[in-house]
Amino acid sequence: MDAKIRLYVEHPLGAEQSVPLDRGQAHYLFGVMRQTVGAQVLLFNGQSGEWRATVAEAGKRGGTLICEEETKPLQMPPDLWLCFAPIKKARTDFIVEKAAEMGAARIVPLQTEFTNSGRIQRDRLQAHAVEAAEQCGGTYVPQVAEMARFDRVMSEWDTARRIMFCDEALAAAGSPPLTGQQGPWAIFIGPEGGFSAREREKLRGMDHAVSVSLGPRILRADTAAVAAMTLWQQALGDWS
């Protein structure tokens, strides 16, 4: 029997390991997906790879799975952060989902001068990252950080982590192809109004930051996030 359903669990995984399900997972597995005792499910926890497990107990409020064998080793993404200014709710959800699918190791919401979303629900965004990892076959879930002010992030920045600054001002002029060494990187995507002049000056003045163009047209923030991650992954990530 092939296991087609994947679940992220916050529990150790290993041969013959018993894995309890919470009420939400039990409702999804047994109420929505109509699985029963004996069904097989793929599990991952972001640390131990992917495991095939069998349903041993099924109930409305919980259940138990038993791990049988590892089906995929842990596949860590490149050490890439996506730093972006949150926008409208659905489009912010989209950015987080695509970042998880495309191999971000950490997702950092930024409060910039022109950010038009004053707050985020970090737990909800983290849940979107989990769902994206379940759907795309990933074995790692990126952490979604609490929203932080741009100035604070910059003041605490580790200069060993290079920055790919997606500068909308270069849309017409273009920029050289992205080059550099693999290692810790971060992509910076501005809000709908772009980074302020002061923020652009700060980023352009950093020795470890590289300004890039995402093409001849100014992209929406959610489109820019996907384009930027594609560009970085193709040049320096695990797609190359």
DSSP string, 85-150: ---SHHHHHHHHHHHHHHT-SEEEEEE-TT-------HHHHHHHHHHHHHHHT-S--PEEPPPEEH
**Is 224 a domain residue?**
yes
Same domain, 91 and 191: yes
Judge whether 1 lies within some domain: no
Residue 50 covered by a domain: yes
Predicted confidence (pLDDT) per residue in 22-49, tens digit = 999 999 999 999 999 999 999 999 999 9
Q: Are residues 165 and 232 in the same domain?
A: yes
- Is residue 129 domain-shared with residue 199, that is, in the same domain? yes
Same domain for 155 and 50? no
Q: Tell me the mean pLDDT in the region 213-239.
A: 93
- Together in a domain, 110 and 161: yes
Same domain assignment for residues 103 and 38: no
Tell me the angle at which helices 221-236 and 89-102 cross, rounded to the nearest 10 degrees. 10
Mean model confidence pLDDT for the chain = 93
Does the pLDDT of residue 1 top 70, yes or no?
A: no
pLDDT at 181 over 60: yes
- pLDDT of residue 172 exceeding 70: no
Domain presence at residue 103: yes
**Both 107 and 224 in a single domain?**
yes
Does residue 54 share a domain with residue 113?
A: no
Does 166 share its domain with 91? yes
Q: Scan for tokens 């550099």, then name that residue.
A: 180
The yes-or-no verdict on residue 98 having pLDDT over 80 is: yes
Which domain CATH number covers 91?
Answer: 3.40.1280.10
101 within a domain of the structure (yes/no): yes
Same domain, 55 and 110: no
Are 8 and 42 in contact, with CB atoms under 8 Å apart? Answer: no
Higher-confidence residue of 178 and 27: namely 27
Domain total in the chain: 2
Q: Are residues 218 and 193 in the same domain?
A: yes
Residue 236 vs residues 50, 164, 180, 202, 215: alpha-carbon distances, Å: 26, 11, 7, 24, 18
Domain coverage including residue 51: 6-72
Same domain, 85 and 67: no
